[in-house]
Every structure is written in C-alpha cells, then in structure tokens.
Chains A and B, each alone.
Chain A
Amino acid sequence: MSSGKVIHLKNVVKRYGGRTVNDINDKVLGECGIEGLIGPNGAGKTTLINLISNKISLTEGQISFFKDGTEIDISKSSIDKLSRLGLVRSNQIIQDFDSLTIMDSMLLSLAASKQERFYKLFGDKKARKMAEEEIAWYLDFFHFNNPNGHADSAGEKKLLDIIRCMMLKPKYALMDEPTAGLSEDQTQRAIELMKKRTTEEGMRILIVEHDLDLIWNVCEKIHFMSEGKILLQGSPEEIKCNEMVHNKYIGE
C-alpha cells in the first residue's frame, strides 16, 4: 500500500435547491494506487467525481490537490487547468469526437500545446513521428478493428476514453464505470494497464464501479458512499465484511 494523499475533501457540500447531494466532512483520497468508490445508486458518487473534476461547482467547502508536496486549491480551477495539473477523468456516459478517427483522437491527446497553433500547417509529420511509438504500444496492447477509422462500437469508444486519459500521464485519474460496455478481454486489459501505471509510474486511480468482484480484486482501498456521505474507508476485506455496507448496499 502506497502512502500520501492526492485529494483532500474539506467540508465539501453540493446542494441542488434544498436537496443536499454531497456532504463530506473531511476525507482524503489517493493514498493507494487504485482505490474504489462504491455505494448504492443515488449515493452521490458521480456527483463527487464531477465536483473533483470541476464539471460542476461546489456549494460549500474546498478540494485540495497535492502535487510534488504542494497543496493546490482546485475548487475553482477550470477543467483544462486540472487536466494540465495532472487530474483527469474518464466518463460514465460514452463520449467521443465524431470527426476524429481513433488515431486522430490519440494524436490529439498526445499533442503538445505549442504544436496547436493556427499558423502551424506543416508540423503534422513531426507530431506523428513523436507520438508513433506510444500509439503503437496502445494499439498493440488493445485491439481496435480499424485504428485509422472511427471507433464504432460502444466498447471501442469506452476504451478510447480510457486511453486518452492514460496518454495524458496524469497523477490522479478518476474513472467513472470504466469497464461498463467492455468485453471480458478488454476489461482485463484495461485493468492490467491501470495496475501497470500505478505500480510503474506512481499514478493514483479512483474507480467508481458497480462490478463488486472487480472492486474487491483490483482496489487496495475502498470508499463507501451513501446518502451523499463517505461513510466508510478501508481495505476490501474490511468493507466486504462491514454490516452497514451489507445493509445499505451489498444486501440490496
């Protein structure tokens, strides 16, 4: 088990009108390589992911991100700034770029900001050459029917979403139901990739999943959410055997 934290949630509250969707007093995330976030439907898991990634704004509180020993308040950081800081997310609902092929999508992820200028018409060969090796690795690791074509199936789109995140080499990745829609083989590959990144590069990942077998087998630490609160944090064994978790979730 790794040490140190990546995210610190301080009195995080999200309300819609009079309804409190998230109310988290003082919790840390990202102490271990792969962590899981579980809880019944409507527990506020996706809302929490949206709050950390700033897709939606906080009603109250603060979210801190730790990078190289420095605490950064990311409560008001834009999505693109967060991504550049090293905090990325994959999406629960399938997201893709209709105009881009699988290859173009990967090139987009790997493109450096200085390459993306309106007056740079002749830099593509160089950009492709620089990305060639990394893209080839991903295409070898995962199978796409036609990498030069569009991602047609839901599985390919989901996989591409994960790959785009991984290509950014983030410090912390939020994965909202990353294996939903993937085949057994693709799921195993995706998990293998996540484990590789956490062990070899020190990346931290938070997975939101309803597939509990995957959660018990892959995660080093699990956060249990219900009614907008993180009620319990612990190892898979501790969470699995907890009576409250059984009453509120597993026993559903």
Chain B
Amino acid sequence: MSSYWIQAISFVAIFIALAGSLYLQSSIGGITNFGIVGFFGVAMYLYTIFVVTLAMPPLLALLAVVGIVFVVALVLGRVILDLGPQSILVATLAFATIIRHLATVLEGVTGAAKGIGTVKMPWDFEKTSDEKILFMVVLIVLAAIVLLYAAKIKKTPYGRLMLSIKDNEVLSESLGKATLNHKVIYFAFTSAIIGLFGALTAPIYTYIFPHFILADVTFVVWIALLLGGRMSVWGAVVGIAVTKFLFDYGIESVLSAFQVRMGPAFGAMWPNIKLALFGAMLIAIFMFRPNGIVSRKREGSLQ
C-alpha cells in the first residue's frame, strides 16, 4: 500500500471518529459543539509538546493529553452547558478560536507559524511504512470502538438519560435526573475522545502548524454528519466516507489521472470541479433526503 493511501485511510479513520464523537454530543446529548477543532487542536499541540519538547514516552503523553482535555472540557462545560443551544454554539466556537490564536502567538511553546516537530510514530520499526501501517490499523480499531460505543449507547440506561435530556431537559430533571452534571461529564468524556484523535493526528502530520486547526475541521465533521444523517451513527460514517474519502481522495485520484492525459490547464480547473461536484451533491441530498443519506422514516426518532 502506498504512503498516500495509508495517510488517506488514517485521516478517514480520524474523521470518522470525530464524526462519531459529534454524533454522541449532538444527536444523543443535544450539545451543539462548534469547537471540535479546539479540543482536537489543543490535544494535537499538547501531545507534540509532550513528546518533542519534554521527551515524554508517547503512551504517557497520550494519557496526559486525554486527561487534560477531559478537565478542560469539564471546566468549559460547567460554564456553558447551562446556557441555550445558540450560546453553547458560540462559546465552543470561541474556545476553538482562542486555541488557534494561542497556537499562533505562543511562539516559544508552539513554534507559531514556523511550526513544531518532528513528531515520530510511537514505535520504531526497520521500515517506516510498517510503522505507518500499524498506526493506521490502531486508528481504525480506535475509530471502530467509538462507532460501536455510539451505536450501542442508545440502548443503555445512560443513553436513554442523555436522549431524555436532549429532548426535554426540564421533564428529565423532574424525574430526578441531575441533568447539568450529566451533561458536563458527558461533554468532557466525548471531548476527551476528540482530544485522543487530535493527539493521534500529530504523528501523521509530523510537523504541526496553526493552519492545521482552522475551523474547516469542525465544518467538515458537521457537514459529514448532516450529509450522512444525524439520526444514526452510520450516517456519520457515510458522511465522512463521502466528504473525505470520495471527494478528498477518491475523486482527487481520478481527476489527477485526467490531468495527466489532458494537461496542466485541466489541473488548474479540477479543485473547482471538485467543489462544484460536492456542492451539487449537497443540494441533491438536501432536496431528496433532507434527513441525510442514512435517514429514518420517523423524523426526530433515534429508534
């Protein structure tokens, strides 16, 4: 397998896990997190600083990063989750903006625009490709665990609790459920999952720059979830398969082959062709399947 496809599959696994986490937050917990890239970015930078600057062992660094992201989300959640959905959206978006700003200005810590690296794979094999393949397999396994968790949670007492909070928080409270506490812990836990995958992105990039944590990471995950269908975790998988795999890698590969045949003029056009195709598909899906590709008969139902 070529390096290109190893990296492509690794990123798809990461984004599937992010979409799965967003499904958990948004579709199960009713938390509108527009700051996914904030948790993703803070984890990516912290992991890099821990293993590169502080020379910590990768596993220890990973555990520390996930723990820190959990605590950060716990504090942020306690402050914002009592607010309305729009306020949560703005607050999480602001959090992500602050993280990116810090990554840009704290030159002594993050390297700012010059970047920080080099982040190596957590293991050392003779062949670099073997290291990357094993890392890709680990990412696929971890993403699969997130998806299985997301698929199973609806049928657990905890899943029913979170769905009840999403649907009608006051009614849930009147049944004796400490809704704010549950929301805060759930937000911290699911944000820690986002952090885990943020940290694991660092060895793929090897060198970390602030432009890796732009808001488009959040937008891609949200578009994927809406495209696939936010009522099922498999919608998130389909959405990422379409946005990342089909468009970022699949169509890119096909168009690259065309470029070889048709010359550089076509090469200049194909990013726009790709965007046009993506836009056309979005319109078609919102017109004909407004609940997403993997939609259910009953609108609003998660059964």
The verdict on A88 contacting chain B, using a C-beta distance below 8 Å, is yes
A interface, how many residues as a size bin? 35 or more
Distance (whole angstroms) from the CB of B181 to the closest CB of chain A: 9
Chain B residue with Cβ nearest A107: B160
- Complex CA gap A91/B173 in Å reads 13
Q: Are B171 and A95 in contact (CB under 8 A)?
A: yes
Are A100 and B298 interface neighbours, CB within 8 A?
no
Chain B neighbourhood of A113, CB < 8 A? 176
Whether the pair A124, B157 counts as a contact (CB closer than 8 A) is: yes
Q: Does A89 contact B (CB under 8 A)?
A: yes
Interface readout for A68-86 with B: 1 if CB under 8 Å, 0 if not? 0000000000111001100
Q: Could you tell me the distance in whole angstroms from the C-beta of B118 to the nearest C-beta in chain A? A: 36
A116 touches which of B149, B158, B298, B303 (Cβ 8 Å): B158
B101 within 8 A of A: no
Interface centre among A79, A84, A88 (most CB of B within 10 A): A79
Complex contact A79–B174 (CB within 8 A): yes
| Least CB separation from A122: chain B residue | B156
When distances are taken between beta carbons in the complex, the residues of chain B under 8 Å from A121 are 149, 152-153, 156
Interface assignment of A96: CB less than 8 Å from any CB of chain B: yes
**In contact, A116 and B152 (Cβ under 8 angstroms):** no
- Which one of A101, A108, A117, A164 has the highest number of Cβ atoms from chain B below 10 Å of its Cβ? A108
With an 8 A cutoff between CB atoms, is A197 at the interface? no
Q: How far is the CA of A127 from the CA of B159 in the complex (A)?
A: 13
Q: How far is the CA of A91 from the CA of B300 in the complex (A)?
A: 22
| Interchain nearest-CB distance for A149 vs B (Å) | 8
**B173 near A123 (CB under 8 angstroms)?**
no
Residues of A within 8 A of B300 (CB): 98-99
Query: Are A120 and B163 touching (Cβ within 8 A)?
Result: no
Set of chain A residues within 8 Å of B172, measured between Cβ atoms: 97, 108
Tell me whether A80 and B173 are in contact (CB under 8 A). yes
Say yes or no for B186: interface residue by CB 8 A criterion.
yes
Are the C-beta atoms of B179 and A80 separated by less than 8 Å? yes
Q: Is the CB of A118 within 8 A of B186?
A: yes
Residue B189 CB within 8 A of the other chain: yes
- Whether the Cβ atoms of B157 and A150 lie closer than 8 Å is no
Residues of chain B having any CB pair with chain A under 8 Å: 149, 152-153, 155-158, 160-161, 163-164, 166-168, 170-179, 182, 185-186, 189, 298, 300-303
A-B contact pairs, 13 of them (CB 8 A): A55-B170, A79-B170, A80-B173, A80-B175, A95-B170, A99-B303, A100-B167, A104-B163, A108-B164, A118-B185, A123-B156, A150-B303, A168-B175
